[in-house]
Amino acid sequence: MPLQSVEPQRLYRQIAEQLRSLIAQGEFTPGSRLPAERDLARQLGVSRPSVREALIALEIEDVVDVRTGSGIYVVQAGLRSEGNGSAGSPEPAEWGPLELMRARELVEGEVAALAARNARKTQIAAMSGALARMHEDASAGIVPRSGDQAFHTAVAQACGNEVLRDTVHGYWQARSGPLSERLGDHFENPASWSAALVEHTAVLEAIRARDSQGARSAMQTHLKKAYNRYSASWRRANSS
């Protein structure tokens, strides 16, 4: 019998598979509520963000239902064949969105610092235009994700390092995956985007002032606060 390749699994997928197995075995029956996120994290010996990513993956696959202010409920038995998940299911290699945000905090802080040193006037104008687009969309009640991506892309373009530019591009490709999109559906709201706009403005002002340390600090602060917003209590999800 030929050996089959072994693929490493993301931690959140390991957690999701364990929860799915417990559901399939009847440990949690359809209609029942799962233990609280903090209790699952303690029992599994993992972080709450990893549990949250696993629950989001199971929600996308229609195994559980996230009910804001109430809890996480089992929808179905959790049995599925490999590759037969629901449309839009996370790919096996998809990064966890909260883990991704931690990496962005480290890398994009340095990218912003380099942009403050190297940005040309046209590149700063591109950042300003992207920020203006974010303001316009937010004022019109449109989630300003395209302007958000354009802003971070413009900062990366200005840093003067192609490897870092491509790295940030890879982050944004991952940001468009179903896990990140669903997490955003739960935790992005007018209040969160209003805060993000203030944070983006601080980054732009530091880059415009050629303040490398200030740009690094402003970008790290923005991504740290964004992480905290996505890690907030489920009871605060979609609250304005």
Which CATH number is 55's domain given?
A: 1.10.10.10
Kindly report, residue by residue over 52-71, the tens digit of the pLDDT.
Answer: 999 999 999 999 998 877 88
Query: Domain for residue 204, yes or no?
Result: yes
Q: How many domains does the chain have?
A: 2
User: Is 15 domain-assigned?
Assistant: yes
Tokens of 69: 């202010």
* Same domain for 103 and 62: no
SS3 of the chain: helix, strand, coil, percent, to 5 = 65, 5, 30
Q: Are residues 27 and 138 in the same domain?
A: no
Residues 117 and 213 in one domain: yes
Taking the model in full, what pTM does it have?
Answer: 0.84
Lowest mean pLDDT: which of 78-82, 117-121, 203-207? 78-82
Question: pLDDT band at 207, cuts 50/70/90?
Answer: very high
Output the domain CATH number for residue 220: 1.20.120.530
User: Do 36 and 129 have their domain in common?
Assistant: no
69 and 114 belong to one structural domain: no
Whether residue 68 is found in the same domain as residue 111: no
Q: What is the pLDDT of residue 5?
A: 45
Residue 5 in any domain: the answer is no
**In degrees rounded to 5, what are phi and psi of residue 92?**
-55, -35
In a domain, 2, yes or no: no
Alpha helix ranges (H) inside 45-142: 48-60, 97-118, 121-139
The domain containing residue 206 runs over which residues? Answer: 97-234
- Say whether both 196 and 118 belong to one domain: yes
Give the pLDDT score at 55. 94
Residues 225 and 113 in one domain: yes
What would the two tokens of residue 44 be? Answer: 């599994």
